[in-house]
């Protein structure tokens, strides 16, 4: 059963805590992405990685960190420095280093109180 | 930088009619433009990609047009069904150099009434 998995589906944290969102793909895709979605807004790119051990900041990288130690995994850490962390987080992958269509995971809804 | 504008107002139509959604961009014409469908609480699903040298692309009841003069793409669903109710997002590369950074519009919600 191929695809992208994100876990957990819902995540609750207290303010001031770091939290790591999981993203795994078994599609053998080179590129992986993290987007954030807020109500009434489009998806905004946080970080992306086109190859293992390399990643670039997106438009809203402040307060987030990532790693890409394995091709199939691209975890996102939401740090306490992120001012408005409550959002729907979407991970995606793409077959090629150059942009192709994106395959999205089911998303993680993070609530920080 | 490139910006995408989609009608933020929901589109309500009757079953069987054709739904037409609009995507406008502000700067250079991208090499291609993509359309995705997103259901509530789910990740977007890719529907169609149209390249700058293509005027029109079809897939079953879906049709996409790309007008680089108007800087606009239209997304049509013919013979619409209640199951087509969802939010539709358009997306394109953020820069001309195929950077790998796809930017999205805020989406238009379509509601098809039986």
For residue A98, the chain B residue with the least C-alpha distance is B100
A70: distance to nearest CA of chain B, Å?
19
- d(CA B13, CA B85) in angstroms, rounded, equals 10
pLDDT in tens, A47-82: 999 889 999 999 899 999 999 999 999 999 999 989
CB nearest B46 (choices: A31, A45, A101): A101
E strands of B1-114, at which residues?
A: 4-6, 11-14, 19-25, 32-38, 45-51, 56-59, 62-67, 72-77, 86-93, 102-104, 108-113
Smallest CA–CA distance, residue A15 to chain B, in Å, is 23
Q: Where are the beta strands (DSSP E) in chain A?
A: 4-7, 10-13, 19-25, 31-37, 44-51, 54-57, 64-66, 76-78, 87-94, 103-104, 108-112
Distances (CA, A) of B107 to A29, B38, B46: 26, 9, 13
Q: What is the pLDDT of residue B97?
A: 57
pLDDT tens, A15-50? 999 999 999 999 999 999 999 999 878 899 999 998
């Amino acid at each position: 059963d191929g695809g992208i998995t994100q876990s957990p589906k819902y995540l609750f944290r207290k303010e001031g805590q770091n939290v790591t969102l999981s993203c795994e793909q078994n599609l053998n895709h080179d590129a992986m992405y993290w987007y954030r979605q807020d109500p009434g807004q489009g998806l905004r790119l946080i970080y992306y990685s086109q190859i293992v051990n390399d990643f670039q900041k997106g438009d809203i990288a402040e307060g987030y960190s990532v790693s890409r130690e394995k091709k199939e995994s691209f975890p996102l850490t939401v740090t306490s420095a992120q001012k408005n962390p409550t959002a729907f987080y979407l991970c995606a992958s793409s077959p090629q280093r150059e942009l192709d269509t994106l395959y999205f995971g089911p998303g993680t809804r993070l609530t920080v109180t | 930088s490139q910006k995408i504008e989609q009608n933020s107002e929901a589109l309500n139509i009757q079953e069987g009619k054709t739904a037409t959604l609009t995507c406008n961009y502000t700067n250079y014409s991208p090499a291609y433009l993509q359309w995705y469908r997103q259901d509530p609480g789910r990740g977007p699903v890719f529907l169609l990609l149209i390249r700058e040298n293509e005027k029109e692309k079809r897939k079953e009841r879906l049709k996409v047009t790309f007008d680089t003069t108007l800087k606009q793409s239209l997304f049509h669903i013919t013979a619409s069904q209640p199951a087509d109710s969802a939010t539709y997002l358009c997306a394109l590369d953020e820069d001309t150099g195929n950077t790998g950074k796809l930017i999205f519009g805020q989406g238009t919600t379509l509601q098809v009434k039986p």
